């Protein structure tokens, strides 16, 4: 069993955390620079901890050097991964509409 997740990554953030959805992908801010694979290492460790699997069970299938990535996690069902992400991300607070104007 394998779970896959699409990511839109922004490296160099203050903290590694989800920042909502981007189409079919999850936006992930990563607290590591996009240099020498450091951001990818943080992403792998982050998802291993999130999924409760060893880091060796997480791999980046596509997007090694781009912000769009496809991750694959061995030993986890897709529904379980989605549930873990939702629990970590919390309820969506962005409706996609602009904030009301102040008078």
Question: What is the full DSSP assignment across 46-61?
Answer: HHHHHHTS-GGGEEEE
CATH number at residue 72: 3.30.1200.10
pLDDT at 71 over 50: yes
> Would 29 be classed as within a structural domain?
yes
pLDDT for the residue numbered 89: 78
**Average pLDDT along the chain:** 89
User: Is the Cβ–Cβ distance between 70 and 63 less than 8 Å?
Assistant: yes
Q: Which residue has the tokens 């962005």?
A: 94
Mean pLDDT score, 59-78:
96
pLDDT band at 100 (very low <50, low <70, confident <90, very high): low
Number of separate domains in the chain: 1
- Asked, for residue 65, whether it belongs to a domain, the answer is yes
Q: What is the model's pTM?
A: 0.84
User: Which residue range(s) make up the domain with 16?
Assistant: 2-89
- For the cut 90, the answer to whether the pLDDT of residue 90 exceeds it is no
Does 99 map to a domain?
A: no
pLDDT higher than 70, residue 50: yes
Question: In sequence order, what E strands does 12-102 have?
Answer: 17-22, 25-30, 58-62, 68-74
In degrees, rounded to 5, the angle at the alpha carbon of residue 1 between the alpha carbons of residues 87 and 23 is 50
pLDDT of residue 37: 93
């Amino acid at each position: 069993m394998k779970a896959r997740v699409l990511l839109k990554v922004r490296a160099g953030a203050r903290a590694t955390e989800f920042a909502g959805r981007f189409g079919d992908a999850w936006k992930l801010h990563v607290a590591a620079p996009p240099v020498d694979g450091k951001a990818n290492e943080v992403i792998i460790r982050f998802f291993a901890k999130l999924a409760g699997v060893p880091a060796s069970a997480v791999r980046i299938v596509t997007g090694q050097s781009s912000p769009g990535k496809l991750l694959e996690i061995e030993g986890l069902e897709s529904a379980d991964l989605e549930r873990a992400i939702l629990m970590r991300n919390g309820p969506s607070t962005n409706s996609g509409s602009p904030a009301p104007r102040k008078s």
